[in-house]
Amino acid sequence: MPLVTLRQLLDAAEAGGYAVGAFNANNMEIVQAIVETAEELESPVIIQASQGAIKYAGLDMITAMVHAVAGQAKVPVALHLDHGTDFNTVIACIRRGFTSVMFDGSRYDKEENIARTREIVKIAHAAGVSVEGEIGKIGGVEDDIVVDEREALLTPVEDAIEFYRATGVDALAMAFGTAHGHYKLPPKLAFDRIEAVHRETGAYLVMHGGSGVPDEDVKKAIQLGVRKINVDTELREAFVGALRQALQEKPGEIDPRKLLGPAREAVKAKLREKMTLFGSVGQAR
User: Which of these ranges, 48-56, 65-73, 102-110, 123-131, lies near ligand G3H under the rule CB under 6 A?
Assistant: 48-56
Residue span 146-175 as binding mask against ligand 13P, x where in contact by CB under 6 A, dash where not: ------------------------------
> Is residue 143 among the annotated active site residues?
no
Residue 228: HSE in the Cβ half-sphere, 13 Å Cα cutoff: 33
231 binds, among Zn ion, ligand 13P, ligand G3H, none (CB under 5 to 8 A by kind): ligand 13P
Dihedral sign, Cα of residue 141, residue 147, residue 149, residue 153: positive
Does residue 200 sit in helix, strand or coil?
Answer: helix
Does residue 186 sit in helix, strand or coil?
Answer: coil
52 binds, among ligand G3H, ligand 13P, Zn ion, none (CB under 5 to 8 A by kind): ligand G3H
DSSP state of 180: B
By CB under 6 A, the residues from 67 to 106 that bind ligand 13P are 82-83
Residue span 2-31 as binding mask against ligand 13P, x where in contact by CB under 6 A, dash where not: ----------------------x-------
By CB under 6 A, the residues from 199 to 228 that bind ligand 13P are 208-211
Under rule CB under 6 A, residue 24 binds ligand G3H: yes
CA distances (Å), 74 to each of 41, 44, 108, 121, 284, in order?
11, 10, 40, 29, 8
Under rule CB under 6 A, residue 106 binds ligand G3H: no
By CB under 5 A, the residues from 167 to 226 that bind Zn ion are 208
Query: What's the rounded Cα separation, in Å, for the pair 242 and 259?
Result: 8
CA distances (Å), 88 to each of 120, 131, 137, 190, in order?
11, 15, 22, 34
Binding residues (CB under 6 A) for ligand 13P: these are 24, 82-83, 180-181, 208-211, 230-233
